[in-house]
Amino acid sequence: MLNRINHIDSMELFIVKLPLVEPFETSFAIETHKEALLLKISSEGIDGWGECVASPDPYYSSETNETALHIIRAFLLPLIIKMKNFSLQEVLEEFERIRGHNMAKATVENALLDLLARKQNLPLYELIGGEKKRIMSGISIGIKKNPDELLESIKKALSKQYHRIKIKIRKGREIEPLTRVRENFPDIKLMVDANADYSISDIEILKQLDDYDLMMIEQPLEYDDLYFHSLVQKELQTPICLDESIENLNDVKTAINLGSCRIINIKQGRVGGILNAKVIQDYCRNNGIKVWSGGMLETGIGRAFNIHLQTLPGFLLPGDTSETSRYFQEDIVEPPVTLQTDGFIDIPEGDGIGVRVIPDRLTRFTAFSEKIEYK
């Protein structure tokens, strides 16, 4: 499927910090900046870029930017150094020796995929077997100080024609906001994301969410749970969507067999990369489980990968795919992600992921960089 890479000239790691347009609050944290770990792999005058979806803290995942930086620098890149005239599949087979660390592995895989696509003068979606199409948009709205702020955020999102609205909730901050939202917007496509803030003992609260005509309830229970989600799903009419609990295909198979969910959020970085995500969406499609592409407040690099991922046939629901200006006044890439008048997003034109890193912006936002050259 993929051509080979003769050799790697250099690799460069960056940590960038981009201010968010406004603070983003979830059940576990408030973010004011996006701190992203980036990787550039260069070969014969062509650069491939990857972005790690980890955060600086271990609240969403046990992986952080620092742990990913260590694994990439000390284990993953040294495996590639020794390889000549290699394929991506051969790299991924070497990576299997390292347990876990999906986000670190995905960063390297992404950069190599971008490099391979650019070498072949292909857009990434064509390289991975996707179909050119316009991508549905979806917005994720953090926890607000009061329902009036939430209503105003939804109103702005609807004026942009977003296809789906997601609001973050936490225990004790769900019924009042949802009641106000449905009073004011009875017909919008609406979902909630709990980021694992509830437990099985909160099932009576979760059952109340059936009253709000939700598309889904995302990850209500513990981040590593599959079994208790199955008990809750049996009691709910609303589909449960699993996010944090799904790290690989085996988790997907277990969740489906237990009846833990009816929808899965595929974050390609969380499951180890685009190619693993492709296998998972195909399995879900063959087993009646809907999927969509989740987001992690990515810069334009990670956002472009998510857009290309959604060209695969299993992605039939709007994902966390929003405009660049929703989160950043200035990104490190061009062109920015923009919504068309009907809310759809066009795939970036050009080879690879279709966006280009702007050097002066990269310099301004870089907090750390390290270049590794090989002879």
Residue written as tokens 């979902």? Answer: 191
Candidate list 105, 119, 144, 267, residue with the active-site label: 267
pLDDT in tens, 48-103: 999 999 999 999 999 999 999 999 999 999 988 888 888 999 999 999 999 999 99
Q: Mean of the pLDDT values across residues 138-155?
A: 94
pLDDT value at 29 more than 90 = no
Q: pLDDT band for position 2 (50/70/90)? A: low
In the structure, what pLDDT confidence band is assigned to residue 292 with cuts at 50, 70 and 90?
A: very high
Mean pLDDT value of segment 150-174: 96
Give the rounded percent of residues in the chain with a pLDDT score beyond 70.
Answer: 99
Question: Would you say residue 323 has pLDDT above 90?
Answer: yes
Average pLDDT estimate for 28-51: 93
Q: At 143, is the secondary structure helix, strand, or coil?
A: coil
- Check residue 374 and give its pLDDT: 63
Inform me whether the pLDDT recorded for 375 exceeds 60: no
**How confident is the model at residue 30, as a pLDDT?**
87
Residue 366 predicted with pLDDT over 90:
yes
Q: In terms of DSSP bridges, do strands 139-141 and 30-43 run parallel, antiparallel, or are they unpaired?
A: unpaired
Q: Average pLDDT of 96-125? A: 97
pLDDT at residue number 47: 97
- What DSSP line would sit under 267-321, residue for residue? -TTTTTSHHHHHHHHHHHHHTT-EEEE---S--HHHHHHHHHHTTSTTB-S--S-
Residues near 1 by Cβ (< 8 Å), separated by ≥ 6?
A: 127, 129
User: Is 267 annotated as catalytic?
Assistant: yes
How many angstroms separate the CA atoms of 219 and 205, rounded? Answer: 14
pLDDT of residue 4: 85
For residue 25, what pLDDT band results from cuts at 50, 70 and 90?
Answer: confident
Class of the CATH-defined domain 10-121+356-373: alpha beta
Say if residue 1's pLDDT is above 60.
no
- Name, in order, each residue with C-beta under 8 angstroms of 4's C-beta and a sequence gap of 6 or more: 85, 86, 87
Same fold, 10-121+356-373 and 139-334: no
pLDDT for residue 28 is more than 80: no
Q: Domain spanning 139-334 has what CATH number?
A: 3.20.20.120
Averaged pLDDT for residues 180-190: 97
Provide the terminal-to-terminal Cα distance of the chain, rounded to the nearest Å.
28
CB atoms within 10 A of CB 121: 9
Mean pLDDT, residues 7-23 taken together: 93
> So what's the pLDDT on residue 185?
97
Q: Parse the chain into domains and list their residue ranges.
A: 10-121+356-373, 139-334
Q: Which of 144, 168, 278, 290 is catalytic?
A: 168
Closest CA to 39 of 3, 68, 6: 68
Q: Rounded mean pLDDT of the chain?
A: 95
Give pLDDT tens digits for 210-260.
Answer: 999 999 999 999 999 999 999 999 999 999 999 999 999 999 999 999 999
